[in-house]
Amino acid sequence: MLKVAVLVSGGGSNLQALIDAKQAGNIKNGELALVLSSSADAYALERAKNAGVPTRVCSKKEYRTREEFTDAILGILKEYKIDLVVLAGFMYILSPKFCEEYENRVMNVHPALIPSFCGDGFYGLKVHEKVIASGVKITGATVHFVNSITDGGPIISQGAVPVRFDDTPEILQKRVMAECEWKLLPQAVDLFCQGKLRVVGSRVEILE
Ligand code: GRF
Protein backbone atom coordinates (compact mmCIF):
# COMPACT_ATOMS: atom_id res chain seq x y z
CA MET A 1 0.00 0.00 0.00
CA LEU A 2 1.33 3.43 -0.91
CA LYS A 3 0.94 6.11 1.74
CA VAL A 4 -0.92 9.20 0.54
CA ALA A 5 -0.86 12.59 2.28
CA VAL A 6 -3.50 15.21 1.42
CA LEU A 7 -2.54 18.86 2.00
CA VAL A 8 -5.51 21.15 2.64
CA SER A 9 -6.33 24.68 3.75
CA GLY A 10 -10.11 24.90 3.60
CA GLY A 11 -13.37 23.05 3.12
CA GLY A 12 -11.85 19.82 1.87
CA SER A 13 -14.51 18.67 -0.59
CA ASN A 14 -11.76 17.10 -2.71
CA LEU A 15 -10.43 15.37 0.40
CA GLN A 16 -13.97 14.06 0.96
CA ALA A 17 -14.01 12.69 -2.59
CA LEU A 18 -10.77 10.83 -1.81
CA ILE A 19 -12.15 9.49 1.47
CA ASP A 20 -15.33 8.33 -0.29
CA ALA A 21 -13.34 6.69 -3.09
CA LYS A 22 -11.13 4.89 -0.59
CA GLN A 23 -14.15 3.67 1.38
CA ALA A 24 -15.79 2.46 -1.85
CA GLY A 25 -12.69 0.42 -2.73
CA ASN A 26 -11.73 2.71 -5.60
CA ILE A 27 -8.20 3.52 -4.41
CA LYS A 28 -6.89 0.03 -4.55
CA ASN A 29 -3.25 0.24 -3.61
CA GLY A 30 -3.25 3.46 -1.57
CA GLU A 31 -3.95 4.40 2.01
CA LEU A 32 -4.91 7.90 3.21
CA ALA A 33 -2.11 8.10 5.76
CA LEU A 34 -2.19 11.82 6.65
CA VAL A 35 -4.17 15.02 6.22
CA LEU A 36 -1.94 18.05 6.75
CA SER A 37 -3.68 21.40 7.09
CA SER A 38 -2.20 24.89 6.94
CA SER A 39 -4.99 26.07 9.22
CA ALA A 40 -6.19 24.71 12.57
CA ASP A 41 -9.81 25.51 11.77
CA ALA A 42 -10.07 24.10 8.25
CA TYR A 43 -13.25 22.06 7.94
CA ALA A 44 -11.16 19.48 6.06
CA LEU A 45 -9.73 18.44 9.46
CA GLU A 46 -13.24 17.44 10.62
CA ARG A 47 -13.70 15.35 7.50
CA ALA A 48 -10.38 13.58 8.16
CA LYS A 49 -11.19 12.95 11.82
CA ASN A 50 -14.63 11.55 10.91
CA ALA A 51 -12.92 9.13 8.53
CA GLY A 52 -10.22 8.14 11.04
CA VAL A 53 -7.37 9.66 9.00
CA PRO A 54 -4.46 11.08 11.08
CA THR A 55 -4.17 14.87 10.97
CA ARG A 56 -1.44 17.43 11.51
CA VAL A 57 -1.51 21.23 11.37
CA CYS A 58 1.41 23.24 10.01
CA SER A 59 0.71 26.95 10.00
CA LYS A 60 2.73 29.30 7.79
CA LYS A 61 2.53 31.99 10.51
CA GLU A 62 4.85 29.94 12.70
CA TYR A 63 7.70 30.13 10.18
CA ARG A 64 9.72 33.11 9.01
CA THR A 65 10.22 32.02 5.41
CA ARG A 66 8.68 29.81 2.75
CA GLU A 67 11.80 27.62 2.95
CA GLU A 68 11.37 27.00 6.68
CA PHE A 69 7.65 26.29 6.22
CA THR A 70 8.45 23.85 3.40
CA ASP A 71 11.14 22.13 5.51
CA ALA A 72 8.66 21.66 8.35
CA ILE A 73 6.15 20.06 5.97
CA LEU A 74 8.84 17.84 4.45
CA GLY A 75 9.79 16.72 7.96
CA ILE A 76 6.20 15.68 8.72
CA LEU A 77 5.84 13.87 5.38
CA LYS A 78 9.03 11.91 6.11
CA GLU A 79 7.78 11.04 9.58
CA TYR A 80 4.73 9.39 7.98
CA LYS A 81 6.81 7.83 5.15
CA ILE A 82 4.59 9.44 2.54
CA ASP A 83 4.81 8.19 -1.07
CA LEU A 84 2.35 10.57 -2.75
CA VAL A 85 1.35 14.11 -1.82
CA VAL A 86 -1.99 15.47 -3.03
CA LEU A 87 -2.58 19.21 -2.94
CA ALA A 88 -6.34 19.60 -2.50
CA GLY A 89 -7.10 23.26 -1.95
CA PHE A 90 -3.73 23.91 -0.28
CA MET A 91 -3.26 27.68 -0.39
CA TYR A 92 0.54 27.97 -0.30
CA ILE A 93 3.21 27.56 -2.92
CA LEU A 94 6.01 25.45 -1.46
CA SER A 95 9.70 26.00 -2.16
CA PRO A 96 11.45 24.35 -5.15
CA LYS A 97 13.10 21.92 -2.72
CA PHE A 98 9.68 20.36 -2.15
CA CYS A 99 9.17 19.71 -5.88
CA GLU A 100 12.69 18.26 -6.15
CA GLU A 101 12.33 15.89 -3.19
CA TYR A 102 8.91 14.72 -4.34
CA GLU A 103 9.44 15.00 -8.11
CA ASN A 104 6.48 13.41 -9.92
CA ARG A 105 5.04 12.42 -6.55
CA VAL A 106 3.01 15.59 -5.88
CA MET A 107 -0.39 16.08 -7.53
CA ASN A 108 -2.58 19.15 -7.69
CA VAL A 109 -6.12 19.69 -8.90
CA HIS A 110 -6.69 22.99 -10.69
CA PRO A 111 -10.23 24.18 -11.45
CA ALA A 112 -9.72 25.06 -15.14
CA LEU A 113 -8.38 23.55 -18.34
CA ILE A 114 -4.61 24.18 -18.14
CA PRO A 115 -2.89 25.97 -19.91
CA SER A 116 -5.86 28.37 -19.79
CA PHE A 117 -6.83 30.27 -16.62
CA CYS A 118 -3.88 29.12 -14.54
CA GLY A 119 -0.65 30.34 -13.00
CA ASP A 120 -0.03 32.97 -10.34
CA GLY A 121 -3.21 34.72 -9.20
CA PHE A 122 -5.56 32.05 -10.55
CA TYR A 123 -7.00 30.40 -7.46
CA GLY A 124 -10.42 29.81 -5.90
CA LEU A 125 -13.36 31.79 -7.23
CA LYS A 126 -11.04 34.12 -9.18
CA VAL A 127 -10.52 31.36 -11.74
CA HIS A 128 -14.25 31.03 -12.40
CA GLU A 129 -14.76 34.82 -12.47
CA LYS A 130 -12.10 35.08 -15.18
CA VAL A 131 -13.53 32.14 -17.12
CA ILE A 132 -16.99 33.76 -17.19
CA ALA A 133 -15.63 37.22 -18.06
CA SER A 134 -13.62 35.77 -20.98
CA GLY A 135 -16.69 34.37 -22.72
CA VAL A 136 -15.35 30.83 -23.21
CA LYS A 137 -18.07 28.20 -23.56
CA ILE A 138 -16.17 25.28 -22.01
CA THR A 139 -14.13 25.02 -18.82
CA GLY A 140 -13.21 22.14 -16.54
CA ALA A 141 -10.51 20.83 -14.23
CA THR A 142 -6.98 19.51 -14.56
CA VAL A 143 -5.06 17.09 -12.37
CA HIS A 144 -1.32 17.47 -12.83
CA PHE A 145 2.02 16.71 -11.25
CA VAL A 146 3.55 19.70 -9.50
CA ASN A 147 6.85 21.23 -10.54
CA SER A 148 8.41 24.59 -9.77
CA ILE A 149 6.23 26.38 -12.38
CA THR A 150 2.80 27.24 -10.92
CA ASP A 151 0.25 24.92 -12.60
CA GLY A 152 3.00 23.98 -15.08
CA GLY A 153 3.74 20.32 -14.36
CA PRO A 154 2.85 17.28 -16.50
CA ILE A 155 -0.92 16.88 -16.98
CA ILE A 156 -2.45 13.62 -15.75
CA SER A 157 -6.10 14.12 -16.64
CA GLN A 158 -8.66 16.74 -17.64
CA GLY A 159 -12.44 16.96 -17.70
CA ALA A 160 -14.72 19.54 -19.31
CA VAL A 161 -18.05 21.17 -18.46
CA PRO A 162 -20.08 23.83 -20.29
CA VAL A 163 -20.13 27.45 -19.14
CA ARG A 164 -23.77 28.59 -19.11
CA PHE A 165 -24.82 32.18 -19.81
CA ASP A 166 -26.44 32.68 -16.41
CA ASP A 167 -23.60 31.10 -14.41
CA THR A 168 -22.20 32.89 -11.39
CA PRO A 169 -18.63 32.05 -10.29
CA GLU A 170 -20.13 30.09 -7.37
CA ILE A 171 -22.45 28.02 -9.57
CA LEU A 172 -19.68 27.31 -12.07
CA GLN A 173 -17.25 26.36 -9.28
CA LYS A 174 -19.76 23.83 -7.97
CA ARG A 175 -20.31 22.31 -11.44
CA VAL A 176 -16.55 22.02 -12.06
CA MET A 177 -16.07 20.36 -8.68
CA ALA A 178 -18.99 17.93 -8.88
CA GLU A 179 -18.55 16.92 -12.52
CA CYS A 180 -14.76 17.05 -12.81
CA GLU A 181 -12.61 17.51 -9.70
CA TRP A 182 -14.32 15.00 -7.41
CA LYS A 183 -14.07 12.32 -10.12
CA LEU A 184 -10.67 13.05 -11.66
CA LEU A 185 -8.65 13.39 -8.46
CA PRO A 186 -9.52 9.99 -6.91
CA GLN A 187 -9.01 8.33 -10.32
CA ALA A 188 -5.56 9.90 -10.65
CA VAL A 189 -4.58 8.84 -7.13
CA ASP A 190 -5.79 5.30 -7.87
CA LEU A 191 -3.76 5.16 -11.09
CA PHE A 192 -0.65 6.47 -9.32
CA CYS A 193 -0.95 3.95 -6.50
CA GLN A 194 -1.26 1.13 -9.02
CA GLY A 195 1.91 2.31 -10.75
CA LYS A 196 0.01 3.19 -13.92
CA LEU A 197 1.28 6.76 -14.43
CA ARG A 198 4.53 7.17 -16.31
CA VAL A 199 6.00 10.64 -16.79
CA VAL A 200 7.80 11.06 -20.11
CA GLY A 201 9.24 14.59 -20.35
CA SER A 202 6.29 16.96 -20.06
CA ARG A 203 3.68 14.26 -20.78
CA VAL A 204 2.07 11.52 -18.71
CA GLU A 205 1.40 8.08 -20.17
CA ILE A 206 -1.45 6.11 -18.59
CA LEU A 207 -0.44 2.46 -18.65
CA GLU A 208 -3.05 -0.25 -19.17
C1 GRF B 1 -10.76 23.36 -5.57
O2 GRF B 1 -11.47 24.13 -6.46
C3 GRF B 1 -9.43 23.00 -6.17
O4 GRF B 1 -9.48 22.85 -7.55
C5 GRF B 1 -8.58 24.18 -5.81
O6 GRF B 1 -9.03 24.57 -4.53
C7 GRF B 1 -10.36 24.15 -4.33
C8 GRF B 1 -10.41 23.34 -3.07
O9 GRF B 1 -11.69 23.04 -2.62
N10 GRF B 1 -7.18 23.87 -5.93
P11 GRF B 1 -11.90 21.99 -1.45
O12 GRF B 1 -11.16 22.50 -0.20
O13 GRF B 1 -11.37 20.66 -1.90
O14 GRF B 1 -13.39 21.95 -1.23
Please report, for the chain, how many H helices and E strands are present, in that order.
7, 9
Give the three-state DSSP class for 37. Answer: strand
* Whether the Cβ atoms of residue 5 and residue 176 lie closer than 8 Å to each other: no
Ligand 1 atom at shortest distance from the alpha carbon of 11: 12
Task: Read off the pLDDT of residues 154-164 as tens digits, 9 standing for 90 and up.
Answer: 999 999 999 99
Q: What dihedral do alpha carbons 144, 3, 52, 66 form, nearest 10°?
A: -60
Task: Read off the pLDDT of residues 32-85 as tens digits, 9 standing for 90 and up.
Answer: 999 999 999 999 999 999 999 999 999 999 999 999 999 999 999 999 999 999
pTM score: 0.96
- Report which protein residue has its CA nearest ligand 1's atom 10: 89
φ, ψ of residue 144 to 5 degrees: the values are: -145, 160
Alpha-carbon distance of 132 to 135, in angstroms, equals: 6
- Report which protein residue has its CA nearest ligand 1's atom 3: 89
Ligand 1 atom at shortest distance from the alpha carbon of 110: 4
